[in-house]
Amino acid sequence: MLVLRLLNVVAPAYFLCISLVTFVLQIFVFIPSMFRDPSSTPLFSPALLHGALFLFLSANALGNYVLVIQSSPEDLGKDLNLGKGAEVADWLDGSRSPGSALPSTHFCRLCARVTQRHDHHCFFTGNCIGSKNMRNFIMFCLYTSLACLDSLVAGMAYISATLSMSFADPLAFLTLLPQSISQFFSGDLLSSEMFVILMLYLWLGIGLACAGFCCHQMLLILRGQTRYQVRKGMVVRSRPWRENLQEVFGKKWLLGLLIPVLNVESSYRRQKEK
């Protein structure tokens, strides 16, 4: 438990550090290097177009990241009589859901709250992902993957121009790291260039991981399931996939796709109002 609590603090700091490094490299290294193209007009120069795209992706990624943290799932334990003794112990290990009128509820040890439609605990946000912040979490994963892949392409273009090398060969990227390490220790490669090369592989790993996680999460949503339900082997009621999507993304899904906005009200809150 101590290790998990430590990871819950270190992981968000790690993500913010990577985001800051990526922003600095894009704004002060990659984008200025694109201004060297004299054939393009200032209005439609690659630097301005790429800068606008990167800022759009970064604003959506960080905006949804903040909304995931702010939109913490409601603590349903305040409205439920959990009892004492063995019943609380059942909640702690997630093996029981007292008051089964609320399906897929789960007590998280790290957040110390009972979450409706609990999916999982995200260490990079330090928060549980449930019905209230699921849409913002998916948008955060989507735009983080796109921002990382965008930085990967810009970084490869920068390294190609700086080191006068070509990535036309698919194996060039795979052999770039071992060759760069040998050149770095032999003194033929600057530390700044080596740092950018290391960031290329980090962006690739984070981008692919976030993209795969986003696709898997969308598959679960289409099936009307959560990661917690799959892990516990819970049977869910079959519904049309359109209803499952609308429950998570709401009717104004296009607005949430373009700009970071708060998620729709949870189904639990609508049940309470009724």
Where would I find the H helices in 71-170? 86-92, 134-163
pLDDT, mean over the chain: 82
Q: Is residue 262 in a domain? A: yes
Question: Which listed residue (122, 128, 148, 210) is catalytic?
Answer: 122
Among 56-70, 180-194, 222-236, name the one with the lowest average pLDDT: 222-236
Q: Is residue 116 in a domain? A: no
User: How confident is the model over 40-94, as pLDDT tens digits?
Assistant: 556 567 788 889 999 999 999 999 999 999 887 766 665 555 544 334 444 444 4
Predicted pLDDT of residue 271: 45
Q: Is residue 96 in a domain? A: no
| Count of domains observed in the chain | 1
Beta-bridge partners for 52? none
Q: Is residue 99 in a domain? A: no
Predicted pLDDT of residue 41: 56
In this predicted structure, the answer to whether residue 100 has a pLDDT above a threshold of 60 is: no
Q: How far apart are CA 130 and CA 134, in angstroms?
A: 6
Q: Is residue 79 in a domain? A: no
User: How confident is the model over 144-157, as pLDDT tens digits?
Assistant: 999 999 999 999 99
Residue 128 is among the residues annotated as catalytic for this protein: no
Best mean pLDDT range from 30-44, 136-150, 165-179: 136-150
% the chain with pLDDT above 90: 42
CA atoms within 13 A on the CB side of 61: 27
User: How confident is the model over 209-221, as pLDDT tens digits?
Assistant: 999 999 999 999 9
Q: Domain range for residue 215?
A: 10-35+44-73+133-273
Strand 127-129 to 106-108 pairing? unpaired
In this predicted structure, the answer to whether residue 140 has a pLDDT above a threshold of 50 is: yes
| pLDDT confidence bin for 104, thresholds 50/70/90 | low
Average pLDDT over residues 231-256: 84
Q: Provide CB contacts within 8 A for 76, sequence distance 6+.
A: 102, 105, 113, 114, 115, 116, 268
Predicted pLDDT of residue 89: 43
Q: Is residue 61 in a domain? A: yes
Neighbours of 102 (CB within 10 A): 17
Q: Is residue 224 in a domain? A: yes
Predicted pLDDT of residue 264: 53
Element (H, E) at 113: strand 113-115
Average pLDDT over residues 201-206: 96
In this predicted structure, the answer to whether residue 131 has a pLDDT above a threshold of 70 is: yes
Q: Is residue 118 in a domain? A: no
Best mean pLDDT range from 116-120, 200-204, 238-242, 261-265: 200-204
